[in-house]
Structure 1
């Protein structure tokens, strides 16, 4: 057999063998040379755009502020609530507190007081925020720890208070909340506004009525929950939630210093 005829016969035999093995599904994979890297489509390598996170609030303050105030603008519209005495209030932030404006603080106060779970639910009171220099039944003030002591009956530098027409929110609590509260800072802020405004409406301190249940808003939740759970609303389910009159002999934590 010539060499050319021999080569043709050998190739034919190899093709027959490969076809037979492939048909039985037992052919080993054929070694192939490494493929050249293929370009990746641009759309596959570009991550989807991410939504920008809102800037985090950063409030700073000295231990003792200036004792002067920036006041929020008047709220448009009529009073919140269906029935009851209209309580007019102003909102002010002490100068020297940085990172929150009077209007921004006022928005949170107003949103809390206008919530249907707040004091308007009892239909004894309605609330209307008035502007600088206007007559008001009370003023909600965001104050430094030192000014809080000057305005409140008792100098502890830690808690908030109500004294006369002044509803005083200690900026240290507004920024830091309290330990072991078991709820977000936003919930604590709602609580402290409703608690101190509650004092302006004539409400007294109350105690936890049942372990595992919500604390009354007039419980001193800043100092301890005593088996209750955090609750910022006087009417959490449409009904006034109360506990026995009285308070606990809780120690007040050390006074707060400035935050820079």
Structure 2
């Protein structure tokens, strides 16, 4: 994902307690971690000065997709993005969320990532589609109902608690933890473009924060419910990242499969 042009200097440093009584993820529920990371708030430049009048015109090439690189074990330092005035959804309870990226991740621009998250959570096919929820991204110093982390595999394990797998994403209390390995590479054999998988992982883990449990494939060839553990297997369904794919609620039977979790961070 291309970097955006403007990143300003860090504007604040604060400590964040990572708390929560229940983890809902693509494994079994586990206990919450006892402590959290140090975080930094970042902003981006609001304007760019014009080039000198005598400068020759520059022809710019089309944006190029930047490779996403990351270590298995990150620093546990987090860049929090500024908030937004946008509120997704027209009715329902307002849930505020923050966005943080681990500093060791390269190839993901914070502003671009935040825009992608807002786009997914604000899509009318997403959780705001039923009129039960409204969603708004807020800044690091604002009260928030949950925080979305883009984390290296080892930091994913710390934030998620329980048995470390370095592979899945999770929801642990008020933490929605996106494993950067999945954001960068999706999963083998998913059968849909990377953007669709990213929509799924954000919507699935946020769905846990909004109180939804796991669901099963309702029938071969049908769209997978967004709360099916699509990372671990589709069980005859086809990929689907939305709870309201056609403007109507779509779900499957409650339950989960006993799928093995692949090894590694790829």
User: When the two structures are superposed, what TM-score results if normalisation uses the length of structure 1?
Assistant: 0.77
Residue matched to 1:25 = none
Matched, 1:218 2:227: yes
Q: Match for 1:245 among 225, 237, 254? A: 254
Secondary structure at 2:158 match in 1: helix
SS at match of 1:104: helix
Tell me what 1:46 maps to. Answer: none
Could you list the runs of 5+ residues in structure 1 that have no partner in the other structure?
1-50
* Pair 1:103 & 2:95 matched: no
Question: Retained in 2: the 8 A contact 1:81–1:123?
Answer: yes
Deviations 1:115-150 (A, max 9, x none): 010000111100011012211000000000000000
Structure (1 or 2) with the greater helix fraction: 1
* C-alpha contact (below 8 Å) 1:93/1:101 kept by paired residues: no
Structure with more contact order per residue of length (Cα contacts < 8 Å, sep ≥ 6): 2
Aligned residues: 207
Q: What RMSD, in angstroms, separates the aligned Cα atoms of the two structures?
A: 1.4
Q: In the alignment, what sits opposite 1:92?
A: 100
Decide which structure has the larger Cα Rg and report it: 1
Partner of 2:23: none
Residue 54 of structure 1: CA displacement? Answer: 2.4
The answer on whether the counterparts of 2:85 and 2:136 sit within 8 Å (CA) in structure 1 is no
Give, in whole Å, the separation in 2 of the partners of 1:212 and 1:71.
Answer: 40
Distance in 2 (CA, whole Å) between partners of 1:99 and 1:122 is 34
- Indicate whether 1:115 and 2:132 are aligned: no
Q: Counterpart of 1:151? A: 159
- Aligned match for 1:182, one of 191, 195, 200: 191
Q: Which consecutive aligned stretches of 4+ in structure 1 deviate over 4 angstroms post-superposition?
A: none
Q: Deviations over 1:75-113 (max 9, x none)?
A: 124x21110000000001011111112222111111001
2:96–2:145 CA contact under 8 A, matched in 1: yes
Deviations 1:150-170 (A, max 9, x none): 011331100000001100000
Q: Are residues 1:57 and 2:69 paired?
A: no
